[in-house]
Amino acid sequence: MAVNVNDNFGLIQNNYLFVEIARRVEEYQKANPDVELIKMGIGDVTRPLAKTVLKAFHDAVDELGQADTFRGYGPEQGYDFLIEDVIKNDYNTIGVELKNSEVFISDGAKCDTGNFQELFSADNTIAVTDPVYPVYVDSNVMAGRSGKMGDDGFYENIVYLPCTEENDFVPALPEEDVDIIYLCYPNNPTGTTLTKDQLKEWVDYAHEHDALILFDAAYESFIKTENVPHSIFEIEGAKEVAVEFRSYSKVAGFTGTRCAYCVVPEEVYVKDSEGNDVQLNPLWNRRQSTKFNGVSYPVQRAAQAIYTEEGKKEIQENLDYYVENAKVIREGLEKIGLHVYGGVDSPYIWFKTPNDIDSWSFFDILLNDAHVVSTPGAGFGPSGEGYIRLTSFNTYENTVEAMERISKLEF
Ligand SMILES: *Cc1c(COP(=O)(O)O)cnc(C)c1O
């Protein structure tokens, strides 16, 4: 008797990125215990939950403690009170109409973007931007949609769309036929965005090639620039070819609380092996009903509180705080002559290392000489080589101090 493993897991190139960062930081800190490092590497929020959110959270917990207001299993798709507020506040305000059955509340956009590929057969070709949020790639490798990773850092059978200074971080449409395209805008890790016209090209491509776009809008709340779409459904024709993922993690500090949602329009159809049309929405509903039992009631009440007038105001204060930090970083790096991207409609700043120093070497320079922890761009894919990501999820004081330290570097 032998249990056979899913061999595809053996193909996963362990993403040593954050492990390796932690190792280098620990080593440095051990040798230099008195140095105060400023951590601008990890993409996790730091501001506490807003007051209104916390109150709704507490109140809902109390409801569970009373016999007459106790709730057990909720709907797998989420409670209507939250779904209706999502539609009203996140979509109707930008002219998008949705039915309740098109919105699925979940415990995270990481889970949703990772799980969604289950609905598709293993022979689909996927396309990802490079650099990329690793979940899109790894979940497809696990499902057997790739070959091996080559020495160049690219998996076989996955189409990579480079996003670099050379194309202003706007990916070119694939030359080959692809089936499933992952787009994330505002982008993690580069912090860059697409305009409505640029996103329209992708929607048109999807129509022309019978492709599906999986659109990750986890950073939507950071968008300030006009003409940057908040949702792919602002683009004409997108409802037939796109699924959208959103999350409360970055907008409201829910990284530890866990709540997100995805929108699967009824208009999206894919094909079965005989070429018949199959509606996507009921498939996702089936998948969620089978494998997921909903987000806890207090968490959904906490998420709903974000949409109250008070909640909106408090959340905006937190977002503004990060945005101000992003500005400090952007301007600080520009002042010393670096090529800086993102940080306008995003908490992430992406910059080119000076003198073509590789990502990890510049990471070490920042660590050893400026005592700032960053993320080497190469960790997000081959096209991230030569770039560094900094995040604005820190205190204002630390952010200012970090820029002062970096400005004293000589290179
Ligand atoms: C942070 C992040 C998410 C959010 O994930 P959650 O599971 O909702 O916390 C999704 N996509 C990207 C690209 C992210 O950076």
pLDDT in the model for residue 15: 67
Q: Is the CB of 247 under 6 A from ligand 1?
A: yes
For residues 372 and 112, give the distance between their C-alpha atoms in angstroms, rounded to a whole number. 33
User: Measuring CA to CA, how many Å separate 399 from each of 18, 28, 147, 353, 375?
Assistant: 21, 20, 42, 19, 15
Enter the DSSP assignment of 30: H
For residues 222 and 343, give the distance between their C-alpha atoms in angstroms, rounded to a whole number. 9
**The dihedral formed by the CA atoms of 332, 335, 336 and 338, expressed in degrees to the nearest 10:** 80
138 neighbors 126 (Cβ within 8 angstroms): no
Q: Is the CB of 133 under 6 A from ligand 1?
A: yes
Across 94-105, b (16+ Cβ under 10 Å) vs e yields: eebebeeebbbb
90 neighbors 231 (Cβ within 8 angstroms): yes
Q: Which amino acid is at 30?
A: K
What residues of the chain score a pLDDT lower than 70? 15
Q: Is the CB of 398 under 6 A from ligand 1?
A: no
Atom of ligand 1 nearest to the CA of 187: 13
Q: Which two tokens stand for residue 311?
A: 């909640």
Q: Which two tokens stand for residue 141?
A: 């490798």
Q: Is the peptide bond before 347 cis (omega within 30 degrees of 0)?
A: no
Q: Is the CB of 249 under 6 A from ligand 1?
A: yes
Q: Where in the chain is the domain with CATH 3.90.1150.10?
A: 7-48+310-407
Q: Which of 44, 50, 51, 48 is nearest to 18 (CA)?
A: 44
**The dihedral formed by the CA atoms of 307, 42, 220 and 264, expressed in degrees to the nearest 10:** -90
Q: Which two tokens stand for residue 130?
A: 């490079």
pLDDT in the model for residue 142: 96
Among 3.30.70.980, 3.40.462.40, 3.40.50.300, 3.90.1150.10, what is the CATH number of 7-48+310-407?
3.90.1150.10
pLDDT in the model for residue 16: 74
The class that CATH gives domain 57-306 is alpha beta
Q: Where in the chain is the domain with CATH 3.40.640.10?
A: 57-306
For residues 378 and 386, give the distance between their C-alpha atoms in angstroms, rounded to a whole number. 7
For residue 111, how far is its CA from the centre of ligand 1 (angstroms)?
9
HEC profile of 189-239: CCCCCCCHHHHHHHHHHHHHHCCEEEEECCCHHHCCCCCCCCCHHHCCCHH
CB-neighbour burial class of residue 400 (10 A; exposed 0-12, middle 13-18, buried 19+): middle
What is the gyration radius of the CA atoms in the chain, in angstroms?
A: 22
Q: Does pTM surpass 0.85?
A: yes
117 neighbors 180 (Cβ within 8 angstroms): yes
For residue 274, how far is its CA from the centre of ligand 1 (angstroms)?
35
Minimum CA distance residue for ligand 1 atom 11: 218
330 neighbors 112 (Cβ within 8 angstroms): no
